[in-house]
Amino acid sequence: MNVDEIRALKGKRKIIMLTAYDYPIAKILDSLDVDIILVGDSLGMVVQGHSDTKSVRIEDMVYHTSIVARATTRSLIVSDMPINSYNDPEQALTNAQRLLEVGAHAVKIEGNYPKVLTTLLEHEIPVMGHIGHLPQTSERVRVQGKRPEQADQIWRDALELDKIGAFGMVIELVPQWLARKITADVKSPTIGIGASKYCDGQVLVINDLLGLDADFKPKFVKRYADLHESIVEAVQRFIKEVKTCTYPDRRHTYH
C-alpha cells in the first residue's frame, strides 16, 4: 500500500488504520490487510506509561518505527512526528528523513504548519495531517469545534492542508456535522477518531481496541476484546500451577 493507493480509496471504501508499536502486533495487522499502520506517539501513554504524549522524543519514534517496519510487507507505515520535532522546516526535514530511513513511508504532523508541510513535500516526504483535538499541545482532552469560530478554524485548516498536498488527515474529537463537512470538502481521505462514521476511514489505538487498560474508557472507544481480563486469568492460572507443582508437568519437561 502506498499513499497514492490510499488517496484512491476516498469514496470507494472505508480505510482501516490502527496503531502498532512492536513486532508481533504489527505482523498481525499487516497479515490482516490493515491499510495504514500508525506508529503513534500515543506510545507515550500505552507503552511508556506517561499521562500524555508530550514527553515522546524523536528517538522513541525512530526506535518503534524500525521495529514495526521489520514486521510489515503490505501496510502503509505512517510515523508520528512527536512534539518539538518539527519546530521549523529544517528540523522537520531532518527528523522526517530519520523516520523514513528506518522504514516509515510517511509522517503525520499535528496542526497546520504550511511551511513545514511544504518543505517535506518538496523533498518527496508524504505527510498526513491531524486536526481537531491535538494531543501534543492541548491542555486536556475535549471535543473541539463546538464553538462556531473554533469549528471554522478547524475547517479552514483542513482546506489548507488539503490544498498544500497532505495525502490524508486524521480528524480527532470533533462533532459529527463538522467531520462530515470536512470529509465532503477535501480531496484527501479523512480518518476519524471520535469523529463519527462520516469520515473516509477510522483509526483506534490498538491497546484500546483490545481492552488492555481496564481503566481507560473514553466515549469514542469500542472494545473488541478484553485482553486485560484474559491476561489476568492466564497469569493467575500460572501462579496457581507453579505453587501446586502442577506446572511444569511431564508433557512440559525434557526426559
Location of C-alpha cell 462556531: 148
Mean pLDDT for 3-16 is: 98
pLDDT tens per residue, range 193-211: 999 999 999 999 999 999 9
Q: Which of 149, 172, 233, 241 is catalytic?
A: 172
Greatest CA span in the chain, whole angstroms? Answer: 74
Q: What are phi and psi of 87, to 5 degrees?
A: -70, -25
- Catalytic: 172? yes
DSSP code string of 147-177:
SHHHHHHHHHHHHHHHHHT-SEEEEES--HH
Q: Which domains does the chain have, with CATH numbers?
A: 3-224 (3.20.20.60), 226-255 (no CATH)
pTM above 0.85, yes or no: yes
What secondary structure letter does DSSP report for 232?
H
pLDDT tens per residue, range 126-145: 999 999 999 999 989 999 99
pLDDT digits (tens, 9 = 90+) for 53-112: 999 999 999 999 999 999 999 999 999 999 999 999 999 999 999 999 999 999 999 999
207 in Cβ contact with 196 (< 8 Å): no
Instruction: Quickly state the pLDDT bin for 147 (edges 50, 70, 90).
Output: very high
Give the separation between CA 88 and CA 116, rounded to whole angstroms.
7
The total of other beta-carbon atoms located within 10 Å of residue 33's CB is 10
Q: Which three cell numbers stand for residue 37?
A: 499502520
The Cα–Cα gap between 201 and 193 comes to: 9
Within 10 A of 160 (CB to CB), how many other CB atoms are there? 16
What does the block give as the cell for 253? 519437561
